[in-house]
Amino acid sequence: MVKIAVIPGDGIGKEVMTEALKVLAQLQRDDPSLQIDTTIFPWSSDYYVQHGFMMPQDALATLRNYDAILFGAIGDARVPDDVTVWEFIMPIRKQFQQYVNFRPVKSLQGIVSPLAKNMDIDFVIFRENTEGEYSNSGGHIYQNQPQEMAIQNTIMTRLGIEKIVQAACNYANQYGKSKITSATKSNAIIHSMKFWDEHTKQIVARTAPTLTLESIYIDALVAYFVERPQDFEVIVASNLFGDILSDLGSAIVGGLGLSPSANINPEKEYPSMFEPVHGSAPDIAGKGIANPIAQIWSLALLLGHIGRPDAEKRVVWAIEAVLQAGAVKTADIGGEASTSQMGDAICQALANSK
Ligand code: ATP
């Protein structure tokens, strides 16, 4: 029995998670060999307001006993953003060595890219997830004095770079890709980014010699995402660059409501965590109109990770079948369907295809 920890979180996180759990139940009805047990944890901003902390002291020890985590979204006006990030998301990513942030960017049947061209976009982003620009190193001193200053250090380690590039190479080898694109800025960030370039080159040459490696400055790369996104196959990037590229990536294939992600510990020593790219969307929370596809696709990635690529494929197929049929679409993709109508339609597509 595979054990999954489910953390719906805040805002639309709770709404889209309900739909992902419906889809999981449907898959289990269709295929009794899918033995998955879920436990729901209430850790969220509500929990913070009640208890003064985002999750209990022993939360990480508890999560450690699970095979994977399915997460919704977190963020609420009552809790400062740095608390939700540094007391919840970052401890899970760092403690569980989820150093790969994996984000597919793929045109789905039935969705027209806002680039207004009929592009076949299909690439993945490997974003370094535990160090780089998002390091808790630095300081802010002399507050309210003329000499006030803030320093934020970027920390790049050889091991950190090697592990994320290796993960990208492994994926490229496994899926028969021909090219890896590295996001850099070594012309201006001459210490850490040169270090990134050197080690990226070495790892690709050593472990995936048949792959072409192209290093592209981040400012040019964002333009290429708009001009020729179909040229990319696998992108490897530092934490900050990967974060920005991922949101742009989701925008060019139809928006946040369609974009899944995975925080992966490739060694499977710790549980990996699967979550939509979007946040808690306070502007639409409680209205029942959020698109649950990003959450449901995140569930699909989780299923692939726990050794059920067949179930992953079925879910992605069902999402595309519903989008292509076109009758059920949520507001973000030009329709009027509710969150639960979209979840129900995906379950129905699964049931019909059994
Ligand atoms: P965070 O800082 O946590 O990313 P945010 O409010 O900046 O939070 P999101 O919560 O991702 O960002 O929302 C950005 C915009 O996208 C909002 O207008 C929101 O309504 C919309 N959005 C996000 N997710 C969805 C979804 N699943 N369905 C429909 N619209 C969504």
Do both 235 and 317 map to the same domain? no
Give the span between the Cα atoms of 336 and 327, in whole angstroms. 9
**Cβ distance 193 to 185 under 8 Å?**
yes
Percent of the chain residues past pLDDT 70, beyond the cut: 100
Do both 223 and 128 map to the same domain? yes
Average pLDDT value for residue range 39-52: 95
| Model confidence band, residue 81 (pLDDT cutoffs 50, 70, 90) | confident
Whether ligand 1 lies within 6 angstroms of the CB of 257 is answered as yes
Average pLDDT value for residue range 66-94: 93
The pair of three-digit structure tokens given for residue 192, joined into one six-digit string: 């850490």
pLDDT reported for residue 66: 98
Whether ligand 1 lies within 6 angstroms of the CB of 329 is answered as no
Q: Give me the CATH number covering residue 336.
A: 3.40.718.10
> What is the CA(281)–ligand 1 centre distance, in A?
4
* Number of residues in the chain: 354
- Name which residue sits closest to atom 25 of ligand 1, judged by CA: 257
Whether ligand 1 lies within 6 angstroms of the CB of 298 is answered as no
- Name which residue sits closest to atom 1 of ligand 1, judged by CA: 279
pLDDT reported for residue 124: 97
Do both 118 and 247 map to the same domain? yes
Do both 141 and 236 map to the same domain? yes
Average pLDDT value for residue range 304-320: 96
The model's pLDDT over 128-174, given as tens digits with 9 standing for 90+, comes to 999 999 988 999 999 999 999 999 999 999 999 999 999 999 999 99
Do both 157 and 246 map to the same domain? yes
The preferred substitution site among 79, 256, 298 for testing ligand 1, maximizing ligand atoms within 8 Å of CB, is 256
Do both 30 and 86 map to the same domain? yes
Do both 281 and 350 map to the same domain? yes
> What is the CA(331)–ligand 1 centre distance, in A?
13
Task: Say if residue 109's pLDDT is above 90.
Answer: no
Domain closes at, from 233, 252, 271: 252
Q: Which atom of ligand 1 is nearest to the CA of 292?
A: 27
Do both 122 and 87 map to the same domain? no
Percent of the chain residues past pLDDT 90, beyond the cut: 92
Q: Which domain holds residue 265?
A: 1-106+259-354
**Total domains in the fold of the chain:** 2
* Chain position carrying tokens 């290093």: 215
Instruction: List helix spans (H) across 55-183.
Output: 59-63, 81-84, 90-95, 158-174
Order the strands of the 260-264 sheet from edge to edge.
36-40, 2-9, 68-73, 272-276, 260-264, 100-106, 122-128, 234-237, 179-184, 212-217
Average pLDDT value for residue range 180-201: 96
Domain closes at, from 235, 252, 269: 252
**CB contact burial 268-287 (16+ within 10 A = b; e otherwise):** eebbbbbbbbbbbbeebbee
Average pLDDT value for residue range 236-249: 96
Domain closes at, from 190, 218, 252: 252
The preferred substitution site among 14, 284, 342 for testing ligand 1, maximizing ligand atoms within 8 Å of CB, is 284
Q: Which of 66-75, 111-120, 192-201, 267-276 has the weakest average pLDDT?
A: 111-120
- Give which of 49, 53, 41 is closest to 76, Cα–Cα: 49
Do both 129 and 90 map to the same domain? no
Do both 118 and 147 map to the same domain? yes
The model carries a pTM of 0.91
Task: Name which residue leads in pLDDT, 89 or 294.
Answer: 294
Do both 102 and 134 map to the same domain? no
The model's pLDDT over 322-340, given as tens digits with 9 standing for 90+, comes to 999 999 999 999 999 999 9
pLDDT reported for residue 336: 96
Do both 143 and 244 map to the same domain? yes
Give the span between the Cα atoms of 188 and 39, in whole angstroms. 47
Query: CB atoms < 10 A from the CB of 160, how many?
Result: 20
The model's pLDDT over 112-126, given as tens digits with 9 standing for 90+, comes to 888 876 788 999 999
Q: Which of 5-14, 65-74, 107-116, 278-287 has the weakest average pLDDT?
A: 107-116
Average pLDDT value for residue range 268-275: 97
pLDDT reported for residue 119: 80
Round the average pLDDT of the chain to a whole number and report it: 95
